[in-house]
Chains A and B, each alone.
Chain A
Amino acid sequence: MTDTASTVKVSRSNRPRENLTGWAFIAPLGILFILFMLVPILWGLYLSFTNQSLTGAGGDLVGFDNYAEALADPDMWRSMLNTVWFTVLSTIPLVVISLALALLVNTGLPGQWLWRLSFFMPYLLASTVVSLIWVWLYNPQLGLFNAILGWFGIDPVTWLQDPDLAMLSVVVTTVWWTIGFNFLLYLAAIQNIPESQYEAASLDGAGRWRTLTSITIPQLGSTTIMVVILQLLASLKVFDQIYQMTGGGPAGTTRSAIQYIFESGFTGFRFGYSSAISYIFFVLIIIVSVIQFRITARRSA
């Protein structure tokens, strides 16, 4: 009690000085934050109510016209649905396979260094490098995948040009590229499970499978929640690899929300409209975050 009283006294006597120091410490970040975060957030919101074009023409307030147009725009909805579809298709394997890889690597096999390197290395590559390599692998005539299919007498497949296969092909690339991050999160979590729990289980005569399902998997609950949340948010923001591998084609089947924002702004020259779609997309992300938060809160309650 007396302790708190004395700190309050001390801090009160230092108040003006502490205020100044505090603001001085946050000033460098603060200025950058205002310039490159707050200003664009507000400017974007303002732009979304104008007919501003890239060339500087326009700029008149048009009320909710952009939003009305976007909500009636089948291409906008298509790009949003593509994004959601990509998120569903990619999140499931990126969570399940990364867990399986971590469990396999953790079985105490030799060569830990090599396994970690194999599964994590792709995560370090730039999207351009990843797409260069995978477009080559998917090449209908010369690619590795069709060569392998050829050994089994299967006809060549047009991986990225077939509307039914293009999204799936991009998902496979994404899983290869980004799984290393989830894999390491799981590996670290598995290795943090107290050894005593395994000892107790083995005294009780629990087998491998029983240990896995009754100890390891349940202990990974909070890690799984974190992995899923991070993965959903990352997948919703997909753009780079799809844009570089398919350009959004064939026939718009892989065009993402970010690509639509980019195209309406920078090739369609409609900054106002593009900003409106940005904000609709932002709302989608917030909705997903809120749903996740609810589910997580209920789980941990």
Chain B
Amino acid sequence: MSTETQHMTVPATARNAASIAPKRRTKLGPAGIAALVVLIVLAVAWLLPFVWAIVTSLKSETDAASASLWPAHGFTLDAYAKVLAEGNVPTWAWNSLFTSALITLITVLTSALAAYAFSRIRFRGNKAVYIVVIAAIAVPPQVLIVPLFYEMLAMDLVDTYWGLMLPQVVQPIIVLILKQFFDQIPVELEEAARVDGASRLRVFISIVMPLSRPILAAVSIFVFVWAWNNFLWPFIIINDPQLMTLPVGLQTVKSAYGIQYAQNMAMAILAALPLIVVFLFFQRQIIKGISTTGFGGQ
């Protein structure tokens, strides 16, 4: 029964995107070959920056400082060893990982609870509060940096993990996406449990949340990627190198490394790896998430 209802509630786009395979397999005629050639050229162009960064990161500093494609002294892992030994890269990676995970958890949990109330519970003020929350989607977070920083000063949260995380957990767009999903779940599924005397919270935890697993996964991945890559707010609120996230840490040492190109590129590759691994593992959910929700932000 549960699989059946999932199919009923998941929007058509999600189902199709889950099996995101081309519908028409055309034979490779002249047009097909032309398309293939164009596509290969474009894909190579898109991958080239990565390849160039990897090649540079595997050179010695002397070789990196000459424009040769093939290093005169052969490939080496020196740059990686130096970055890992000297820098705070592992600390920053850990900070990024745990703050992004916590931001994701708090955002998705509080948004899901609220979205469920907006979708199902008839309480006084429901509509009005919902409109206020949704209107906040139009507010660019960057516009709030000055008053937010001032507020953090007042709350004594500058240079703390909480100061870093809390302003990032309010994401009205997530409330909107989840509410629209909850709206599509048939009420009948909950009514039986309600008649048996289950509380709202009980229904939410044991019926609604399990049914919403696909959308919760998609939304979580997005919040995680945004938090992981967020630059401006962490850059403003954190000064202590021990508390920095990867993007902020990299920005501060970029100038310190100066002309050490191989080490710069090694840092870039190290910082890119975690999310690329995440993508390879969760490719399906990410694509499904984009096509169901239609929102990503930058």
Residues of A within 8 A of B (CB): 11, 18-23, 25-26, 28-30, 32-33, 35-37, 39-41, 43-44, 47, 52, 101, 104-109, 112-129, 132-134, 136-137, 141-144, 146-147, 150, 176, 178, 181, 184-185, 187-189, 191-192, 195, 198, 208, 226, 230, 233-234, 236-237, 239-240, 244, 258, 261-262, 265-266, 271, 274-275, 278-279, 281-282, 285-286, 289
Contacts and interface: CB of A to CB of B under 8 A. Distances in A.
Nearest to B52: A144
B98 to A, nearest CB: 16
Contact of B250 (A33, A129, A143, A188): A129
Given A21-B121, A261-B143, 20 more contacts: A18-B122, A19-B124, A22-B123, A22-B126, A26-B113, A108-B23, A119-B46, A122-B46, A124-B276, A126-B228, A126-B246, A132-B254, A141-B67, A142-B261, A188-B287, A233-B140, A239-B232, A261-B142, A282-B139, A286-B138
Interface string B191-206: 0000000011000100
Contacts of A23: 123, 125
23 contacts: A18-B123, A21-B123, A21-B200, A26-B114, A29-B170, A35-B166, A37-B144, A47-B150, A101-B42, A112-B20, A113-B283, A129-B247, A142-B64, A188-B287, A189-B291, A191-B22, A230-B294, A230-B297, A237-B140, A239-B142, A239-B232, A266-B149, A278-B144
Contacts of B200: 21, 25
**Can you list the 3 inter-chain pairs with the closest CB atoms, starting with the nearest?**
A22-B123, A188-B291, A25-B117
B287 to A, nearest CB: 6
B287 A184 contact: yes
B279 interface: yes
Contacts of B35: 104, 107, 109
A57 B284 CA distance: 53
B121 A25 contact: yes
Contact of B143 (A178, A271, A281): A281
A138 to B, nearest CB: 11
Interface in B248-298: 248, 250-251, 254, 261, 264-265, 267-268, 271-272, 275-276, 278-279, 283, 287, 290-291, 294-298
A105 B56 CA distance: 30
B131 to A, nearest CB: 13
A11 B200 CA distance: 14
Contacts of A119: 42-43, 46
A34 to B, nearest CB: 9
A195 B126 CA distance: 42
B286 to A, nearest CB: 8
B72 interface: no
Contact of B275 (A39, A124, A261): A124
B298 A178 contact: yes
Question: Interface residues of A: mostly helix, strand, loop or mixed?
Answer: helix
Interface residues of B, number: 105
B136 A33 contact: yes
Contacts of B39: 104-105, 109, 115
A145 to B, nearest CB: 10
Contact of B52 (A30, A47, A117, A137): A137
A100 B6 CA distance: 33
B21 interface: yes
Given A43-B150, A278-B146, A282-B139, A132 B16 contact: no
Contacts of B124: 19, 22
B279 A108 contact: no
Contacts of B261: 136, 142
A36 B46 contact: no
B36 A109 contact: yes
Given A114-B43, A187-B20, A29 B113 contact: yes
